Structure formats: C-alpha cells, structure tokens
Amino acid sequence: MTDAEQIVIVGASLAGATAAETLRSEGWTGGIVLIGSENQLPYERPPLSKGVLLGKDQPDVAQLHDQQWYDDNSIELRLGTTVTAIDSATHTITLDDGSTVSYGKLLIATGSRVRRLDVPGGDLAGINYLRTIEESQALTEAYAAKPRVVVVGAGWIGLEAGAAARERGCEVTVVEPQSTALAAVLGEQVGELFADLHRQHGVDLRFDTGVDGFEGTDKVTGVRTSGGEVIPADLVIVGVGVQPNTELASDAGIEVATRENGSGIITGADLQTSVSHVYAAGDVVQWDHPLFGRFVRVEHWQNAKDTGKSVAKSMLGQEVAHDAIPFFFTDQYDLGMEYAGYVPRGASYEVVLRGDPASGAYLAFWLDDDRRLLAGMHVNTWGAIDAVQELIRAQKQLDPARLADTSVELSDV
C-alpha cells in the first residue's frame, strides 16, 4: 500500500485516537498516521477538571493508550507536529517543518481552543485557562497553597474548577455576566439549582457581573468587575467557552459554518465534508443530525468518542447516518449528573422536574412546544439516563404531569 492510500488523521485528540482505534477494530490494515500538535499521547479531558484538580488522580489517568499500544497497532504517531495546510487536489497535507504527507482519506479532528478574555491585564501571571494536561497540573499544584480563587464564567468548566478549589480549601468567587449558573445551557430554573449547590458550599457567586480587567503588576492580584469593584485574587481561572479550530479546513476550501448558522466544519450524517475523501469528527464538526432534523455541534467528551467511531466506519465505506444523542456528565461536590439530548439555542421549552431538588436526587426534562422531549438529565438518580434517551428517540408527545409523577415509570410516561 502506498502513502497515497493511507488514512491521515489531523488531531491526536480523543476523536482522532478513537477513529484510529476503530479503523483497526473494523479491519483496516493499511497505514494510519495520527498527527497532533501537543507532545502528549492522546488523552481524555474530563479527568482534568475533576479527579486531577481534586488531587485524587494523576494526569496520566487521562491517557487513552500507552506508546506500546500504538506501536502494536501500527499507528504512526507524530506528536508535537502542526498541520499548516491541506491540498485536496493533490491529497496532501503540509506540516510545520515544510514536509508533506499524502493521504487516501483525511480526517480533521482538530478540536477546539479556549476563548480568551481580551481585557487589560489579561496576560498577567496567575490567570489560568483549563484545556490541556499541563494547565490542569498547574492548577492542581496551585490549589495546594489554598489561594483566593476567582473563577470567570459559571459554565461547566468554571463550576467544576470552582468546586474542586472549594473541596481543597480555597476561597472561591465566581463572576458571571448571565443571571445565574449555566443559564445558556440549562435555563434559569435548573441553572439556579446548580447555583444553590455552590452557595451551600461557600462559593461567593456574582451574577449579572462582567469583567473589565485584571489588577496586578507582574502577577494578578484582583479582578475588576463591570461594576467597578476589585475582587482580590491570588489565582484566576477563566472558563468562557471554546471555539472550534476550523481555520485549516476553511483555508482548504472546505465548507465551514458562518456566523449566521453556528460554527464548525459542515458535514452530512456520514461525517464527510464538502470535499471528497475529507471527513471531520469531534468538537470541530457540525453535522446533519438525522433524528433532530438540523445541524448540530457538540463539545462534550461522549461526542468525540461517538463521532470518532462513526467516522472511521464511514471512511471505510460503511453506510453511516450518525444519530447519537448528545451526552454529558459532571461531578461537583456530592452531585453526580448525566444529561442527554439537545436543546437548540433560542428554542422555547417547558421544564418539568421529577422529584424534589432539595433531596439532592431528581430529574429535569426539557419539552418543546409540542411536548416532545428535547433533553433530560438526572441528578444522583443513577440508571435513569437510558430511559431518558429512549424517550428522546421516541419523539412522542408526553404528558408533563405523568413525566413529573415519580410513581409512573419513565417507560410508561
């Protein structure tokens, strides 16, 4: 087999490594080249904001496989290497050292990068972002000194990082421009339940508050809010979202979503891009979802695994219509949560609660205007998420009263 027939994967990410693993398990015996800009072996990100920050796990727990596994499976790893260009006409990619690699089929799994705050003082030491193993390890070590921590952003990463800091004895303040925690993803009613959880654990929450800048000379000493207050800080964690790394695809003439229709590399349900023999998976892909009837992009861990598996099969010529239901989980203090489904931004919905949130164990559901289930989550109610996914797939009208009634089995709603 020539180099021109090999499969090249750009992004030694969870999606990229999962695709490589699936290619082998599905019988592909040809060449696989897995290229990543980090020097780390491919790893998962959830442990970085959970067990590692709590000091319970070492960073290597996030590693997918050791080097021997890649050697045994004849997967060529090129770490610390950046792809600078794709030429779909010649089926080649260019690397940062100027060399080229030929491909028969190409997978773009370039993931996403953190959004950075462009405010005065944003480059001071002590301002942290959480995306990589190195960044997680740095925070883990910093927490040991029990600094005053200010978290900018009450999203998933910010809340998990804040919870870990509190559990390790740090003083924590969270600054968020929206009206409550997780308002953009869960809505105000359910988001406020998470806000209450953090209040109960001693976190100082400042909602409806933006950040105008950071104080300090060489190292951050405070966070200046939109109201003019300066919150003292020894350590700042910024968690204001991510943006997909689509530039490589866009420069190659591959269709990428515009600002009007979201973000990500556009693909069909088979995860093939607008350019023949080029595919996308993971955070970076916005695909035509067969079940939802719309294009979706999902940034969570399970999506990287799911699209990695599906895209490998698609690249091998199998018939693929990727319809996985998005799934997410979080652990904060004594709360364990699993969420399944997809609520489009701007969509109207009704929230139905099942169980008493004050008990620490309940479910929440998001119904569209036709009372069909868009998404559901459980808090400390293990074993329920499979039934939630079945209800989403059924796409049937639901009775909110029966959905809320704990005496009615979810399978009978």
Residues 10 and 84 in one domain: yes
Q: Do 175 and 263 contact (CB within 8 A), yes or no?
A: no
pLDDT of residue 261: 65
Give residue 1's pLDDT band: very low, low, confident or very high (50, 70, 90): low
Residues 20 and 86 in one domain: yes
Q: Is residue 306 a part of any domain in this protein?
A: yes
Residues 120 and 104 in one domain: no
Q: Is 304 helix (H, G, I), strand (E, B) or coil?
A: helix
Residues 254 and 274 in one domain: yes
pLDDT of residue 260: 61
* Domain CATH code at residue 265: 3.50.50.60
The residues near 346 (Cβ < 8 Å, ≥ 6 apart) are none
Residues 235 and 374 in one domain: no
Q: Is residue 324 a part of any domain in this protein?
A: no
Residues 383 and 234 in one domain: no
Instruction: Residue 178: give the domain boundaries.
Output: 116-240
Residue 199: CB atoms within 10 Å: 13
pLDDT per residue as tens digits for the range 331-348:
999 999 999 999 998 899
| Strands in 40-88 per DSSP E | 75-78, 83-87
**Domain limit, last residue, from 240, 271, 298:** 240
Q: Is residue 47 a part of any domain in this protein?
A: yes
pLDDT per residue as tens digits for the range 172-212:
999 999 999 999 999 999 999 999 999 999 999 999 999 99
Is the pLDDT at 235 greater than 70, yes or no?
yes
* Domain CATH code at residue 369: 3.30.390.30
Residue 100: HSE in the Cβ half-sphere, 13 Å Cα cutoff: 12
pLDDT per residue as tens digits for the range 387-405:
999 999 999 999 999 999 9
For the chain, what is the domain count?
A: 3
Q: Is residue 155 a part of any domain in this protein?
A: yes
- Give dist(CA 224, CA 122) in Å, integer: 11
> Can you tell me the mean pLDDT for 261-286?
95
Burial of 227 (0-12, 13-18, 19+ CB in 10 A): exposed
Is the pLDDT at 53 greater than 80, yes or no?
yes
pLDDT of residue 2: 66
Is the pLDDT at 262 greater than 80, yes or no?
no
Residues 50 and 108 in one domain: yes
Q: Is residue 327 a part of any domain in this protein?
A: no
Radius of gyration of the chain (CA): 22
Average pLDDT over the chain, rounded to an integer:
96
- Give dist(CA 132, CA 376) in Å, integer: 29
Q: Is residue 275 a part of any domain in this protein?
A: yes
Give residue 31's pLDDT band: very low, low, confident or very high (50, 70, 90): very high
Residues 123 and 94 in one domain: no
Q: Is residue 322 a part of any domain in this protein?
A: no
pLDDT per residue as tens digits for the range 99-131:
999 999 999 999 999 999 999 999 999 999 999
- Give dist(CA 303, CA 288) in Å, integer: 14
The CA angle 53-55-162, to the nearest 5 degrees, is 35
Residues 205 and 267 in one domain: no
**Domain limit, last residue, from 315, 349, 366:** 315
Phi and psi (nearest 5°) for 351? -95, 130
Phi-psi region for residue 120, left (φ > 0), alpha (ψ -120 to 50) or beta?
Answer: beta
Residues 31 and 14 in one domain: yes
Residues 120 and 108 in one domain: no
- H-assigned helices in 74-220: 133-143, 156-167, 183-200
- Give dist(CA 250, CA 287) in Å, integer: 16
Q: pTM of whole model > 0.85?
A: yes
Residues 105 and 124 in one domain: no
Percent of the chain past pLDDT 70, that is, above it, reads 99
Q: Mark 374-408 as b/e (b = at least 16 C-beta within 10 Å).
A: bbbbbbebeebbebbbebbeeeeebeeeebeeeee
**Domain limit, last residue, from 206, 240, 274:** 240
